[in-house]
A and B are shown apart, each in its own frame.
Chain A
Amino acid sequence: MAGPACMLPMRRLQTRAPEPTPEPAPEPIIVPPPVLSSSLPPKGDQGLASALGRCAKGDAAALRELYEAMAPRMLGVAIRLLRRRDLAEEVVHDTFLAIWQKAPGFDPARGGAETWMFAILRHRALNVLRGEARSDLVDDFEPLALVADEPDAEAIVTALSEAGALRRCLERLDPVRRHAIVLAYTHGLSHGELAGRLGQPLGTVKSWIRRSLIALRECLA
């Protein structure tokens, strides 16, 4: 696709012409990003942490609060990873039981409550994903999926907070590398699957990921 640098002069020429029909705004048609659930839980991370503290003391009402605050977002994440609602609900189910059981081990000094809970969710979902479907998927090249994944990866980036550092830093990456990072994280694609989807050798994809993660870390520092 032509870069904006090539487009601009053309446009200027056109607009200087004796105004035939008004040129449509050069806005690209943007598929609206997925509706963002409130990115912060109603109670904030401190509220989540204190609810975890009450869970640790056996207060089931606190778990219910966490469920109300987190379950819909967790289910969304799990569905995106697993592509199957039934499996995703099972993962959410198991995640809340695990939260209940592990709450005494949660230490707010060592990390955020939301991060902690999502780590449980993601770990479970990825285990299911691998257990159900993982093998060597390098050969699983799906041209259709390739077409479908790129806009998806871009829509995910677009859905990130415009003011946020993560979006700014992801946008600094070469698009293909950005897609690789986003697809790996949000859809649980392995190196091999990424290689297949992106039509690149495995080693290339691995090195892209490594370098992109280093670039991200530096940009986010």
Chain B
Amino acid sequence: MTDDAQDRLAAEYAMGLLDADEAALAEALLADDPVFAGLVEDWRARLLELDATAPAEAPDPHLWSRIEAGLAQPAGAGDGASAARTPIAPASPPAVLGPDAPDITAPIDLAERRRARQQGVGLWRAAAVTATAAAVVLAVALATVIRTLDRAPVLVTVLLAEPGRPAAVVNTFPDGRTELVPLTTVDVPAGKALQVWTLYDRERGPVSVGLIDVMRSIELGLEGLPRPAEDQLFEITLEPAGGSPTGRPTGPILMKGTADRAL
């Protein structure tokens, strides 16, 4: 069942059938979940033969010289997101892995970037991860809710409770509004609370953006903070009721994740 929910998402992603919300979720999972990436790769390989049925067409003779002229960028330079920005895809903001990285094969530079930013918390970066079916189903349901409200997030952060177990999603909307949506429940001992933090500036350190007694959807208090950006960290720690006495996280991290750009 777990596998079915993930595989459904992977299949429809490979088919190109996901709407923007679900595609953003798929991209976020692809970036962090090698198992999910493997499912997508399997589907791409299964369906590839259909692409061979398109009649081949000779390209315009000048096409190659135009490509050649565009090679000024050294191979593998940068993260490609800006370098390869297409001039003809007005409504396609860079995807999670650059404009269209085949996520199965997340570019090395990206993998390294992720590794670097998650150093010291290798625990969170799992080798094999299998999102729970419930989580994915809920996330998909969530995506539906978001769609019906006619607003799509520009940034999506999947908070993992442990490798491969999405526990919550943080959605940032075009106007900067950011909401936390739980995908699982969390046992909160008496006298404790859940505190939501974001890290947008290492020098400043984590900033509290929400305090809840149980996992529930809330709008995060980002007023006065810079608008969330790609790779910004969100996490939830267990703190004394009323919030951390120090203004910094003091309890265990229950879940965390970094923001990915939605498609």
Interface of A is mostly: helix
Please, which residues of chain A bring their CB within 8 A of the CB of B49? 39, 160-161, 164, 166
Contacts of B138 in A (CB 8 A): none
Known contacts A98-B100, A102-B107, A119-B104, A166 near B54 by CB under 8 Å: no
**If A36-B52, A166-B50 touch, does A97 touch B71 (CB 8 Å cutoff)?**
yes
Known interface pairs A34-B53, A130-B91, A191-B17; A185-B8 also in contact (CB < 8 Å): no
CA distance A136 to B67 in the complex (A): 34
The closest CB in chain B to the CB of A34 belongs to B55
Q: A122-B16, A209-B12 are in contact. Are A79 and B57 (CB under 8 A)?
A: yes
Chain B residues whose C-beta falls within 8 Å of the C-beta of A60 in the assembled complex: 68, 71
A164, chain B: closest CB distance, angstroms: 6
Stretch of A8-16, A18-26, A87-95, A138-146 contacting B (4+ beta carbons < 8 Å): A87-95
**Identity of the chain B residue whose Cβ is nearest the Cβ of A117 in the assembled complex:** B102
Q: Which residues of A contact B47 (CB under 8 A)?
A: 166, 185
B58 touches A98 (CB 8 A): no
**Quick check: A111 and B105 within 8 Å, CB to CB?**
yes
Q: Closest residue of chain B to A169, judged by CB?
A: B46
Whether B99 lies near A156 (C-beta < 8 A) is no
* Residues from chain A with Cβ under 8 Å of B45 in the complex: 111-112, 115
A67 to B64, CA, bound (A): 8
Residues of B within 8 A of A76 (CB): 54-57
Proximity string of chain A (123-134) to chain B, C-beta cutoff 8 Å, 1 when within and 0 when not = 110111011101
Taking CB atoms and an 8 Å cut-off, the chain B residues in 2-48 that contact chain A are 4, 7-8, 11-12, 15-17, 19, 37-38, 41, 44-48
Contact B91 A186, beta carbon cutoff 8 Å: no
A118 to B, closest residue via Cβ: B51
Contacts of A132 in B (CB 8 A): 91
A-B contact pairs, 9 of them (CB 8 A): A100-B71, A102-B101, A104-B109, A120-B101, A123-B95, A130-B91, A132-B91, A161-B49, A166-B49
Closest CB pairs A-B (n = 10): A105-B107, A131-B91, A127-B92, A37-B56, A104-B76, A119-B102, A123-B100, A76-B54, A72-B56, A159-B53
